[in-house]
């Protein structure tokens, strides 16, 4: 009798474990089904400044920052939950930055040119629960991603330019897309193939293209 009870308990335990495994598999399959990947390209054309405006430094020719690659995320979320896409994208920076330097006790306008090229961890959040809805980008570079080429040169204070080079790409204003709100993705629930309307801001124009 005792042996039969043990066998019965083992049988019930096996059924429960199998049922739990099947349920877990179904949940994981559902998540995989709702997991979407998109090839994207974010392009900023314009100028920026640490002090004053680009015009103060005589900067009129626009420069470019391009962030592109594949972002992936779970698009099957509750109506008011944000959709988070992540991926390692490639950023290419060429940006003239208006700044000032001290000359004979006076501030003089100067230009430093920031260049950068390499991989960055990227997060894109689409949040329609916000007041007007928005798309929000964050980027982050770590050495584990591989090499990142960068250079800052120009007519500004050499020490300040060296410090700015250390800031590339995570903490430089020239990277544009770190902590950047994309108004062209206003009230967008999930990424769709196509080119979104141009986002014309005070420093330049941003385009968002989803290739698939």
Position 6 pLDDT exceeds 60 = no
3 occurs within a structural domain: no
132 occurs within a structural domain: yes
CB 109 within 8 A of CB 52: yes
pLDDT band at 130 (very low <50, low <70, confident <90, very high): low
Whether the CA torsion 113, 119, 121, 124 is positive or negative: it is positive
58 occurs within a structural domain: yes
Q: Any residues with CB less than 8 A from the CB of 181 and at least 6 apart, and which?
A: 134, 135, 136
101 occurs within a structural domain: yes
Helix (H, G, I), strand (E, B) or coil at 164: helix
In the prediction, which pLDDT does 10 show? 44
Helix-then-strand count for the chain, H and E: 2, 11
**What pLDDT, in 10s, does the model give residues 135-171?**
999 999 999 999 999 999 999 999 999 999 999 999 9
Q: What share of the chain is helix, strand, coil (3-state, %, to 5)?
A: 25, 45, 30
Whether the CA torsion 90, 139, 74, 210 is positive or negative: it is negative
164 occurs within a structural domain: yes
**What pLDDT, in 10s, does the model give residues 22-41?**
444 444 444 445 789 999 99
**What pLDDT, in 10s, does the model give residues 62-119?**
999 999 999 999 999 887 889 999 999 999 999 999 999 999 989 999 999 999 999 9
The mean predicted confidence, pLDDT, of the chain is: 87
Domain that holds residue 198: 36-210
In the prediction, which pLDDT does 44 show? 97
Q: Is 204 exposed, middle or buried (0-12, 13-18, 19+ CB in 10 A)?
A: buried
CB 47 within 8 A of CB 63: yes
In the prediction, which pLDDT does 131 show? 65
CA distance 185 to 194: 12
In the prediction, which pLDDT does 186 show? 85
In the prediction, which pLDDT does 198 show? 94
CA distance 146 to 136: 25
> Per the structure, how many domains does the chain have?
1
CA distance 155 to 108: 10
140 occurs within a structural domain: yes
- Pairing between β-strand 63-74 and β-strand 48-49 as defined by DSSP bridges: unpaired
Cα end-to-end span (Å), the chain: 64
Q: Any residues with CB less than 8 A from the CB of 144 and at least 6 apart, and which?
A: none
23 occurs within a structural domain: no
100 occurs within a structural domain: yes
What is this structure's pTM? Answer: 0.82
- The number of residues in the chain equals 212
pLDDT band at 4 (very low <50, low <70, confident <90, very high): low
């Amino acid at each position: 009798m005792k042996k039969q009870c043990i066998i019965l308990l083992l049988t019930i335990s096996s059924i429960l474990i199998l049922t739990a495994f099947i349920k877990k598999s179904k949940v994981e399959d559902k998540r995989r089904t709702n997991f979407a990947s998109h090839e994207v390209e974010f392009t900023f054309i314009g100028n920026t400044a640490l002090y004053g405006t680009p015009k103060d430094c005589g900067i009129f020719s626009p420069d470019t920052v391009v962030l592109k690659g594949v972002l992936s995320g779970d698009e099957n979320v509750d109506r008011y939950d944000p959709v988070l896409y992540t991926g390692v994208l490639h950023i290419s920076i060429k940006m003239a930055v208006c700044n000032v330097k001290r000359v004979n006790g006076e501030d003089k306008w100067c230009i430093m040119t920031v260049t950068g090229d390499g991989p960055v961890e990227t997060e894109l959040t689409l949040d329609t629960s916000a007041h007007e809805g928005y798309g929000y980008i964050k980027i982050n570079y770590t050495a584990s991603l591989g090499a990142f080429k960068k250079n800052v040169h120009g007519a500004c204070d050499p020490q300040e330019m060296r410090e700015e080079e250390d800031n590339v790409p995570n903490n430089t204003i020239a990277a544009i897309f770190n902590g950047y709100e994309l108004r062209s993705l206003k009230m967008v629930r999930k990424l769709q193939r196509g080119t979104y309307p141009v986002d014309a801001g005070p420093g330049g124009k941003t385009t968002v293209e989803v290739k698939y």
